[in-house]
Structure 1
Amino acid sequence: MSSYKVFKHPEKGFEAVKSGFAWFAPFNPFWPLFRGLWMLFISYIFVILIITSIDYIFYGFEGYIDIANADDFQLIFLIIQITIFVYPGFKGNNWTALNLQKKGYIFDCSIEADNKKEALIFVTSSKT
């Protein structure tokens, strides 16, 4: 079972957001689009383009790092890249919750459920 934060909107009803790690967010630049996080999507694409440009400068058209022969700067840059790509997994569900609050949703409760649909069914049935 997972923990879900449930938000309520006066007209739109309930929405649930899983607490914890967002497993689809890392290495997936389109994940923010499915959550309605447009500015995050634009920022993420911009960062990916910058990282890709730097990779092209370092490694040319092949685009891969030879870890055994890499210098310190290349290894540090690799660690920075991995951190940038994994970071949305740690913060993604919080960003989704904040986006819902900006849209007028109010935190209602936290609930344990197997999935988002089950959490919403349980909350709507207990509120009626």
Structure 2
Amino acid sequence: MTSYKVFEHQKKSLKIVKVGFAWLAPFNPIWPLFRGLWLIFVSYIFVILILAGIDFELYGFDGYIDIKNSNNLQLVFFIIQIVLLISPGFKGNKWTENNLIKKGYVFSYAIKATNIKHAFELISNEETNKENIEKEST
């Protein structure tokens, strides 16, 4: 089971964020847009453009690294590229949490569920049970 953090807002609906690796983030450069992370999106695109320019200077029109014939600079740059392009997966959910906190959401509690849909079901069942308890006590 996966852990999810539940964030609540006084006026808006609650939000759930998975704890751990964000699998879509490294493979989809527009992923931050779906999370409302505009600054990270612009920064990520800027970094990709810089890396593409450096790639062109290092590899020319071929556009790929020839591992067998590459020099140390090319190998180091290749490793740096991999780290930079995978890093949103490791930090993406934390960035989402920080963005929600900036928007006025407050961390409420953590829940374990098989997926996000299951987490929403558990939370809605819990809220229904709270309402039933309150109605029975009055």
User: TM-score category by the smaller chain?
Assistant: over 0.9
Gaps of 5+ in 1: none
Corresponding residue number in structure 2 for 1:94: 94
Query: Aligned to 1:17, what secondary structure does the other structure show?
Result: strand
Counterpart in 2 of 1:6? 6
Q: Highest CA radius of gyration, 1 or 2?
A: 2
Which residue is 2:52 aligned to? Answer: 52
TM-superposed CA distance for 1:13, in Å, is 2.0
Give distance in 2, aligned partners of 1:104 and 1:121.
24
Instruction: Determine which structure has greater relative contact order: mean sequence separation of CA pairs < 8 Å that are 6+ residues apart, divided by chain length.
Output: 1
Cα deviation digits, residues 26-53 of structure 1 (max 9, x gap): 1321110111100000000000000000
Give, in whole Å, the separation in 2 of the partners of 1:27 and 1:71.
Answer: 27
Counterpart in the other structure of 1:41 = 41
Count, aligned residues: 128
Q: Once the 2 structures are TM-superposed, how far is the Cα of residue 84 of structure 1 from its aligned partner? A: 0.2
Q: Residue type matched to 1:92 in 2?
A: G
Q: Using the alignment, how far apart are the partners of 1:54 and 1:42 within structure 2?
A: 19
Q: Distance in 2 between matches of 1:67 and 1:115?
A: 39
Alpha-carbon RMSD across the aligned residues, in angstroms, is 1.0
| Cα separation, 2, equivalents of 1:2 and 1:39 | 28
Q: Percent identity?
A: 58
Give the gaps of 5 or more residues in structure 2. 131-138
Give the 4+ runs in structure 1 shifted more than 2 A: none
Contact residue 14 and residue 120 of structure 1 kept, 8 A: no
Q: Choose between structure 1 and 2: higher helix proportion.
A: 2
Distance in 1, matches of 2:124 and 2:104, equals 18
